[in-house]
Amino acid sequence: MIWYLLFFIVPIAYIVAYSFGRKDSSLLLPVDMSSLSLDSYREVFDDTFFTVFKATIKIAIYATLLCVFIGFPVAYFLAFKVKDRWRGILLALVIVPSFTSFLIRTLAWRIPLAPEGTLSDWLQDWGLRDSPIGLLETRGAVQLALVYNYLGFMILPLFVALDRIQAGLREASKDLGAGRFATFTGVTLPLAGPGIAAGVLLTFIPMCGDYVTATVLGGAKGNMIGAMIASQFSAAQNWPRGSAMAVLMIVAVLGVLGAAVLIFFAAKLLARLLRPLFD
């Protein structure tokens, strides 16, 4: 509780408080808290903010779904198909890229995605493209790098959840007449639910606030809300507006997660109601 109080609750409280202040560049801390107002929130509500914010949510959702669809088969393979002596080595290969700096891993994508890069030259030499690729400084480049950077955070909790499933449960399902698909949907997938939820939280929330990837690879077309917030604190020195953006982003991310939870429980209830028809 002391850890959360000092490094989570207190910083968030400062951000919320700064969002009601006024910009004052004459101060060492450029926030005037003598007269509180909602001016920063009024300034934030413009077309540019909502355009970038919608793009950020869309990129984060797509990248999270891609992490799930790519990470689940990998985690399933590691948990059920790989022998114990090889499992540690393959898990280490999943973790090793995280040993490198996040910035360096993101910068490395500029080499293959560049219009005159090696990948572009190969595609043209093989006749797959007539012109250089134009992925750099687009939303596609940002999304690709996000999946690469955060895929390990999806695979590890999925592997832990799948590895904890007792082999006897899956064997019992097959002994009772269930096929592979029925065993997967009726036993494996529900028991892997906590791992999926943990992986989604560990990827979606950081993706929404990521500004390094958008700054390095996105350019004007792939700008994300994290980069806008960072620019308000650093370049513009407008801490109240940056704080207001941060507060709105936190609320919106919680809203998206809440909507996802409601959709999940609604789908679960619908499946339960329709189960007699399938049976």
With vertex at residue 73, the alpha carbon angle to CA 256 and CA 180, rounded to the nearest 5 degrees, is 110
Is the predicted pLDDT of residue 123 greater than 70, yes or no?
Answer: yes
Any idea which of 11-25, 62-76, 211-225 has the lowest mean pLDDT? 211-225
- What pLDDT score does 7 carry? 92
11 band by pLDDT with thresholds 50, 70 and 90:
very high
Q: How far is CA 15 from the centre of its chain?
A: 22
76 band by pLDDT with thresholds 50, 70 and 90:
very high
Report CA-CA distances (Å) from 246 to 12, 31, 48, 233, 250: 9, 15, 15, 11, 6
- What pLDDT score does 12 carry? 93
Mean pLDDT score, 18-39: 86
Is the predicted pLDDT of residue 136 greater than 90, yes or no?
Answer: no
- What pLDDT score does 278 carry? 67
Q: At what angle do helices 193-209 and 47-76 cross, to 10 degrees?
A: 150
CB 120 within 8 Å of CB 132: yes
Report CA-CA distances (Å) from 153 to 87, 107, 117, 183, 198: 17, 20, 29, 26, 9
Long-range contacts of 28-36 (CB under 8 A, 24+ apart): 29/239, 30/237, 30/238, 30/239, 31/239, 31/240
Is the predicted pLDDT of residue 104 greater than 80, yes or no?
Answer: yes
For the record, the structure tokens of 193 come out as 């639910």
pLDDT in tens, 34-60: 888 888 888 888 888 888 888 899 999
Q: What is the share, in percent, of the chain residues with pLDDT greater than 90?
A: 31
Is the predicted pLDDT of residue 217 greater than 80, yes or no?
Answer: yes
pLDDT in tens, 219-262: 766 778 888 888 888 888 889 999 999 999 999 889 988 998 89
